[in-house]
Amino acid sequence: MAPEPPLLSMSGITKSFPGVRALDGVDLDVQAGEVHCLLGQNGAGKSTLIKVLAGAHQPDTGTIRWRGEEVTLRSPIAAMRLGIATIYQELDLVEHLSVAENVHLGHEPTAAGFVVRGKAARSSTAQLLERLGHPEIDPARLVGDLSAAHQQIVSMARALSHDVRLIVMDEPSAALDPDEVDNLFRIVGDLTSAGVAVVYISHRLEEIRRIGDRVTVLKDGRAVAGGLPAKTTPTRDVVAMMTGRNVEYVFPERPTTDATAGKPLLEVRGLARHGEFEPLDLSVRPGEIVGLAGLVGSGRSEILETIYGARKPSAGHVLVDGRALRPGSVRAAVRAGLGLAPEERKAQALLMLESVTRNVSVSSMSRFSRGGWIDRAAELGAARAATRELSLRPDNPSVPVRTLSGGNQQKAVLARWLLRGCRVLLLDEPTRGVDVGARAELYAVVRRLADEGLAVLLVSSEVPEVLGLADRVLVLREGRVVHTAPARELDEHRVLDLVMEGSPAS
């Protein structure tokens, strides 16, 4: 390695929140032009560390050196001035502003110091989007109207609109399709060959193999390994360092009995929504896990939400136990035993100001109440049991859900439906942001629920997950089912081919 000082060197960083020591003396060195990966379980402190680096949190102790000189990052602006840009785990775009306005937020090109030059902003945004491989995004559109993947790109354009030397990406691939991920990696490659350093956080180890140069592993707020070679360290070792034990990254056994024998519990007949997906038939039997594979934008989430009654179908209906549900009514669906873990946990599932307990119990309040009166001890006990089952951390359901790490927030959403005890479980990207160890646990829980007689409908962008967990897979393309087969008759390549075939590169 070069004799000159590293681009960034953080040492002895500690950061405590009330009751939690999120960082406990962490060191991190980053060289110019490298991709430095941060690994660690949910709640290990990755996001906290990069927020310290971004000037969003002030460390309690520790020093930060930037090109050899000690610096204090008092605010996000201070970090940006040095050339540190951050793409946060929870996207932080302003939905009601346009793409160009978001990209230039805080440093708008101006005339006479205060008149915003909208045209200049739009054309420079268009250039950035072009560079990011997405010239089709219109700089004048509202960010709220864009897909999650495109919002991610806008975030990236915002980061690049500054003169960056270090760019931090906190789980950027969680919301992306395989080909979007390829595009992301191409951008990362361009950046590093221009000498920009990248700090990359992901729970997908295979990604780290592909683009990472070095790896730092965090566990319980400490760096248990710093600067390991990303490509040659065995996965087993990395996982053992992260979790402190040996996790077998395997899917649970499928039951030997044939689930196709029973009567379907969930039936969807000719369900359609104009412009989103075409008439769809599917059925799920008790004990069966059915997977929906497809690209982002192929209508998977829309299908789940329509089945759940959150969107009104333009045709068709949903039957549970042979009885038709009132279309477009979430309450009818919930009463019939449906549960949905939605894709966007922050916007669609979590009550950010409330405790974990209340987030978990919100769909089953009638179980702890009599005549509207809540038995709080019973509520807390049940919430504790449900969150323990998913090993949610910290192990105290009274803390506000907003203080949980991203992956643990996801677990809180799942715990809600575990507690509710529904008969049909609709899972939309259930493992997004969930760490390797917890994933294995989660898979086991889903399979166990199925074995207990639940019908499960699973959507996931991760093809191996669909293939490993589901019994039967429906492959979707542009709102249409193009293939149905038992999971064991498919492999990843086949699914990807089916999914991409004929679809325009987007």
Partner 1 sequence: MTQHASPPRDSTGKVPSAGAAPGWRGLMARADVRTLSLLGVLAALIVIGGITKPDEFLDTRNLQLVLTQGSVIGVVTVGMTFVIISGGIDLSVGAIVALASVWATTVATQEYGFAGILFTAVIVGVGCGLVNGVLIAYGAMVPFIATLAMLASARGLALQITDGKTQIVTVPSVLDLGERDAYVLGIPPLVMVFAVVTIIGWLVLNRTTFGRRSVAVGGNAEAARLAGIDVRRQRLYLYLLSGLCCGIAAFMLVILSGSGQNTNGNLYELDAIAAAIIGGTLLSGGRGTITGSVLGVLIFTTITNIFALNNLQSDVQQIAKGAIIVAAVLVQRRTASTT
Ligand X SMILES: Nc1ncnc2c1ncn2[C@@H]1O[C@H](COP(=O)(O)OP(=O)(O)OP(=O)(O)O)[C@@H](O)[C@H]1O
Residue 116 CA from chain centroid, whole number: 35
User: At closest approach, how far in Å is the CB of 83 from ligand X?
Assistant: 23
Q: Burial-class residue 313 by CB neighbours within 10 Å (0-12, 13-18, 19+).
A: buried
Q: Is 411 in the site for ligand X (CB under 6 A)?
A: no
Three-class SS of 104-140: CCCCCCEECCCEECHHHHHHHHHHHHHHCCCCCCCCC
Among 26, 39, 44, 333, binds ligand X (CB under 6 A): 44
* Residue for token pair 């009601």: 96
Among 3, 113, 322, 372, binds partner 1 (CB under 8 A): 372
Tell me the per-residue interface mask from 318 to 357 with partner 1, x by CB under 8 A, - otherwise.
------------xx-xxx----x-x----xxxxxxxxx--
Nearer to partner 1, 342 or 479 (CB): 342
d(CA 365, CA 376): 10
Helix (H) or strand (E) holding 382: helix 376-389
Q: Is 202 in the site for Mg ion (CB under 5 A)?
A: no
Task: Name the amino acid, one letter, at 98.
Answer: S
Q: Is 22 in the site for ligand X (CB under 6 A)?
A: yes
Q: Is 48 in the site for ligand X (CB under 6 A)?
A: yes
Nearer to partner 1, 18 or 502 (CB): 18
Q: From the list ligand X, partner 1, Mg ion, none, pick the one residue 45 interacts with, judged by a Cβ distance below 5 to 8 Å according to partner type.
A: ligand X
User: At closest approach, how far in Å is the CB of 475 from partner 1?
Assistant: 26
Tell me the per-residue interface mask from 160 to 199 with Mg ion, x by CB under 5 A, - otherwise.
----------------------------------------
Q: Is 42 in the site for ligand X (CB under 6 A)?
A: yes
Nearer to ligand X, 283 or 403 (CB): 403
Question: How many of the chain's residues bind partner 1 (CB under 8 A)?
Answer: 51
Q: Is 391 in the site for partner 1 (CB under 8 A)?
A: no
DSSP-derived secondary structure for 247-279: ----PPPPPSS-GGGS--SEEEEEEEETTTEEE
* Residue for token pair 């045209």: 119
Q: Please measure the distance between the N-terminal and C-terminal CA atoms of the chain and give it in whole angstroms.
A: 39
DSSP-derived secondary structure for 438-475: HHHHHHHHHHHHHHTT-EEEEE-S-HHHHHHH-SEEEE
Among 9, 31, 86, 89, binds Mg ion (CB under 5 A): 89
Among 381, 394, 421, 468, binds ligand X (CB under 6 A): 394
User: 360 Cβ partners below 8 Å, 6+ apart?
Assistant: 382, 383, 386, 387, 397, 412, 415, 416, 419
**Structural contact between residues 465 and 431, judged by C-beta atoms closer than 8 angstroms:** yes
| Residues forming the site for partner 1 (CB under 8 A) | 14, 18-21, 24, 43, 61, 219-222, 308, 310, 330-331, 333-335, 340, 342, 347-355, 358, 362-363, 365-366, 369, 372-374, 376-377, 380, 393-396, 398-400, 403, 416
| Residues forming the site for Mg ion (CB under 5 A) | 47, 89, 405-406
| Residues forming the site for ligand X (CB under 6 A) | 17, 20, 22, 40, 42-48, 89, 394, 403-408, 433, 435
